[in-house]
């Protein structure tokens, strides 16, 4: 018995003792493959010596200074590093402490941009998609499209949600041969209904994560979205909180579709779990509108951009680049996906195995033929997670939404340092866990 107010008060939690590389150890000495990097966070694995050293060095100098008064060498270095990795004129980094703070800040930044640029005060709504996750705070949850909204619905902003780019369960009843990328054009429908003069931005995860288990859109999806947004004067907010910094095999997932967004939200992989950090990366045009306008973004969080987290992020990002871990994510990810499809799809309850780089999802169904999901009350995703843990693997579960519409799935997102041999170890453990579950 302890006094921690846990997320799930009825659940028993295993106590973590230590981590090393892709492995976590509990206090009884059991070893687990951290096959989801927490929640796609620990991209460099655990106890990385370069990051630990950078952390200790910075803590000795100064751990905290407030952004209202101070700048610091680590935040300047981080902003320069990030600007060198982003496409187009995405050069300006606004620092916060996590992913929800990043999407929340992007929402306000998009709204203020139109005020600063030409006083368009009517443009404030952000359109997002169902089966999306953009965070837990009220603005972020308003943009989110999944079951996490349900209990807090009366508190949320009334923002429109469009159809997801969910090919396994196409909302338009299409298949790969008949696909017309209707899910992208659904944005135009929503813009016409809402009136584009009321809309500031469209936000999307390039590869859907926490709400849907690694759904990858059609290759033309974001190109069409970009065209529609340009036509109606809407910003594209690219929520790369989970996908950013190498997770899907590119530094930022959107690169693979040759689309340049207006704002990028980042967090998780930027400091890889060693210290909380998040950020919004803005195009020069947006930054300049603020600079030439009021000169201030009236928004801030106490821990945003603290020197300790920034020094950690500098070490993390440098290591990512030096070790070419995005390429490792692409290569080992392709291998893992091929193997998982071959080995898991034969199980009667596995409907789909999908993903990009080292961000992969497994969707569990009651019937392969009809794709009927398991009833929500069974909590299948959580149950399989518990079985896999007994086989030494940690995955990130996502279960059906309250209407039973979503389906059970879980996410695999091992640290980007994983080797092919370790991927084999993961596959064998997964297969024996699935056989046990059957």
Helix (H, G, I), strand (E, B) or coil at 364: strand
Exposed (0-12), middle (13-18) or buried (19+): which is 113, by Cβ within 10 Å?
buried
Among 100, 128, 196, 409, binds ligand PLP (CB under 6 A): 100
Please provide residue 383's backbone torsions phi and psi, each rounded to the nearest 5 degrees: -65, -40
Contact 258, 226 (CB under 8 A): no
Closest CA to 359 of 408, 322, 406, 396: 396
Of 37 and 103, nearer to ligand PLP (C-beta) is 103
If phi over 0 gives left and psi between -120 and 50 gives alpha, with beta otherwise, what is residue 355?
A: left
Selected range binding ligand PLP among 63-71, 108-116, 133-141, 295-303, rule: CB under 6 A: 133-141
- For residue 134, state whether it binds ligand PLP (rule: CB under 6 A): yes
Query: Considering the rule CB under 6 A, would residue 248 count as an interface residue with ligand PLP?
Result: no
Closest chain position to ligand PLP (CB): 99
Sheet containing strand 263-266, strands side by side: 90-96, 278-283, 263-266, 235-239, 199-204, 125-129, 161-162
Q: Which residue lies nearer to ligand PLP by CB, 247 or 391?
A: 247
The angle subtended at Cα 38 by Cα 17 and Cα 378, nearest 5°, is 105
**Residue 210 in the binding site for ligand PLP (CB under 6 A):** yes
Q: Is the alpha carbon torsion for 260, 262, 267, 271 positive or negative?
A: positive
- Contact stretch for ligand PLP (CB under 6 A) within 204-212, 291-299, 360-368, 426-434: 204-212
CB of 206 to ligand PLP, least distance (A): 9
CA distances for 47 relative to 162, 245, 408, angstroms = 41, 19, 32
DSSP state of 215: B
For residue 163, the SS3 value is: coil
CA 127 – CA 190 distance, rounded (Å): 8
From the list 75-83, 132-140, 294-302, 328-336, the region that binds ligand PLP by CB under 6 A is 132-140
- Calpha distance 236→260 (Å, rounded): 9
CB of 94 or CB of 374, closer to ligand PLP: 94
| CB 242 to ligand PLP: min, Å | 4
| Contact map string, positions 56 to 95, toward ligand PLP, x by CB under 6 A | ----------------------------------------
Regarding 241 and contact with ligand PLP (CB under 6 A), the answer is: yes
Angstrom distance (rounded) from CA 393 to CA 375: 25
Interface residue with ligand PLP, options 146, 188, 205, 238 (CB under 6 A): 205
Q: Of 67, 141, 68, which Cα lies nearest the Cα of 99?
A: 141
Of the ranges 182-190, 192-200, 235-243, 403-411, which one interacts with ligand PLP (CB under 6 A)? 235-243
Neighbour order of strands in the sheet with 23-26: 16-20, 23-26, 31-34, 393-394
Using the rule CB under 6 A, is 303 a contact of ligand PLP?
no
Rule CB under 6 A: say whether 239 interacts with ligand PLP. Answer: yes
Asked if residue 135 binds ligand PLP (CB under 6 A), the reply is: yes
Q: How far is the CB of 225 from ligand PLP (least distance, A)?
A: 16
Nearer to ligand PLP by Cβ, of 248 and 422: the residue is 248
| Contacting ligand PLP within 19-58 (CB under 6 A) | 39
> Distances from the Cα of 363 to the Cαs of 4, 294, 329, in angstroms?
32, 48, 21
| Comparison of 191 and 280: residue with beta carbon closer to ligand PLP | 280
Please give the residues from 255 up to 284 whose contact with ligand PLP meets the rule CB under 6 A.
267
* Alpha-carbon distances of 22 from 12, 180, 417, 419, rounded to whole Å: 23, 40, 8, 10
Minimum gap (Å) between residue 357 Cβ and ligand PLP: 15
**Choices 164-172, 189-197, 238-246, 364-372; region in contact with ligand PLP by CB under 6 A:** 238-246
209 lies in the site for ligand PLP, by CB under 6 A: yes
Helices (H), 62-200: 73-83, 99-118, 138-143, 182-194
> Which of the stretches 20-28, 131-139, 360-368, 379-387 binds ligand PLP when contact is defined by CB under 6 A?
131-139
Per rule CB under 6 A, count of chain residues that contact ligand PLP: 15
Footprint on this chain of ligand PLP (rule: CB under 6 A): 39, 98-100, 103, 133-135, 205, 209-210, 239, 241-242, 267
């Amino acid at each position: 018995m302890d006094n921690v107010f846990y997320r799930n008060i009825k659940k028993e939690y295993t106590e973590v003792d230590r981590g090393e590389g892709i492995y976590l150890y509990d206090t009884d000495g059991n070893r687990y493959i951290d096959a989801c990097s927490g929640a796609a966070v620990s991209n460099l694995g655990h106890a990385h010596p370069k990051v630990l050293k950078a952390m200790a060095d910075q803590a000795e100098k100064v751990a905290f200074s407030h952004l209202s008064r101070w700048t610091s060498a680590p935040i300047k270095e981080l902003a320069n590093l990030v600007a060198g990795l982003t496409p187009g004129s995405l050069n300006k980094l606004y620092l916060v402490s996590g992913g929800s703070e990043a999407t929340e800040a992007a929402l306000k930044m998009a709204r203020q941009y139109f005020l600063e640029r030409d006083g368009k005060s009517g443009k404030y709504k952000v359109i997002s998609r169902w089966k999306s996750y953009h965070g837990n705070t009220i603005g972020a949850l308003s943009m989110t499209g999944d079951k996490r909204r349900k209990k807090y619905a009366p508190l949320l902003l009334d923002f429109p949600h469009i159809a997801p780019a969910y090919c396994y369960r196409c909302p338009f009843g299409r298949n790969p041969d008949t696909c017309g990328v209707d899910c992208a054009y659904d944005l135009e429908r929503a813009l016409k209904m809402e009136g584009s003069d009321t809309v500031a931005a469209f936000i999307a995860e390039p590869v859907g994560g926490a709400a849907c288990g690694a759904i990858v859109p059609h290759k033309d999806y974001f190109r069409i979205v970009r065209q529609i947004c340009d036509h109606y004067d809407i910003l594209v907010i690219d929520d790369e909180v989970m996908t950013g910094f190498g997770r899907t095999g590119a530094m930022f997932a959107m690169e693979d579709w040759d689309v340049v967004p207006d704002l990028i939200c980042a967090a998780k992989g930027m400091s890889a779990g060693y210290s909380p950090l998040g950020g919004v990366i803005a195009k020069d045009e947006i930054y300049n509108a603020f600079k030439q306008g009021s000169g201030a973004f009236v928004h801030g969080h106490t821990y945003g951009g603290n020197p300790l987290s920034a020094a950690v992020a500098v070490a993390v990002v440098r290591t990512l680049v030096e070790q070419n871990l995005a390429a490792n994510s692409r290569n080992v990810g392709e291998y893992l996906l091929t193997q998982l499809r071959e080995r898991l799809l034969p199980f009667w309850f596995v409907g789909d195995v999908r993903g990009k780089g080292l961000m992969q999802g497994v969707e569990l169904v009651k019937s392969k033929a009809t794709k009927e999901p398991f009833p929500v009350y069974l909590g299948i995703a959580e149950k399989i997670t518990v079985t896999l843990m007994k086989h030494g693997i940690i995955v990130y579960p996502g279960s059906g939404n309250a209407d039973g519409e979503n389906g059970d799935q879980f996410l695999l997102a091992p640290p980007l340092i994983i080797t092919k041999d370790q991927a084999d170890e993961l596959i064998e453990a997964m297969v024996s866990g699935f056989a046990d579950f059957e």
